[in-house]
Amino acid sequence: MRFLNPEIVAAIVEDNEQHRDEWSKELKSRGVNPDSYLWERSSCAFPGVRRYAGSREIAVHHGHAKNDDASFEQALRLDDNDFPKQIWSFTFRRKQFSKSGPKGYALAHLADHKNYTNRFNLDFNVVDGCSQSNLFGLFTCPSNTVFIPTAMIKPTDFGELLRNLLTVMNPSRRPG
């Protein structure tokens, strides 16, 4: 399994802290709640970009359906993991991601992003008023991603214990 160096995550957090006010104003002016991406000490690498969720958004993202209202809930743009993979690609290859990752590996999210059978309320201790959309920024957070052997992708999709183990192993999520 491959985690990003905690120093990379720390650099993203510091950059977000330096630009949070400016970026928050820009997101608000475009109708996006900045709290979904730029919470205090956020490691969201692409504020305003989120993973698509649900069959309609997947169809629109892949060009199989039109987006009649030209907007998505709390997002400037939808993504299919290309954005978080850019961080990995520049870190390890020093060039842009090209749709194929390391042979035998795939990117996995530690927090669930799917609308169907979503386990958000099971995986998080949520407070009143908190919903999955409050955490859209998790899906471009390097602290929420890991490259794992392809054979382990399906077990992380529905394996809370395995995802929790990966979370504990992730050096960028450890305090201090």
pLDDT score recorded for residue 162: 63
CA distance linking residue 87 with residue 84, whole number of Å? 6
pLDDT score recorded for residue 176: 43
Q: DSSP letter at 85?
A: H
pLDDT score recorded for residue 17: 96
HSE value, Cβ hemisphere, 13 Å, CA-based, for 28: 8
CA distance linking residue 44 with residue 90, whole number of Å? 16
Give pLDDT tens digits along the chain (176 positions). Answer: 788 888 999 999 999 999 999 999 999 999 899 988 998 899 999 999 887 777 777 787 778 887 766 667 788 888 877 888 888 888 877 888 776 667 788 887 777 655 545 555 566 655 555 555 556 777 778 888 888 887 776 555 555 666 666 666 666 655 44
CA distance linking residue 123 with residue 112, whole number of Å? 8
Q: DSSP letter at 69?
A: T
CB 114, CB 158: distance < 8 Å? no
Q: DSSP letter at 126?
A: P
From the list 129, 125, 109, the residue with the least C-alpha distance to 53 is: 109
Kindly report the pTM of this predicted structure.
0.74
pLDDT score recorded for residue 116: 47
Q: Which residues pair with 106 in a beta bridge?
A: 148
pLDDT score recorded for residue 11: 94
The two tokens of residue 30 are 């475009």
CA distance linking residue 138 with residue 51, whole number of Å? 9
CA distance linking residue 92 with residue 155, whole number of Å? 26
Q: From the CA atom positions of the chain, what is the Rg in Å? A: 16
The two tokens of residue 81 are 């993991």
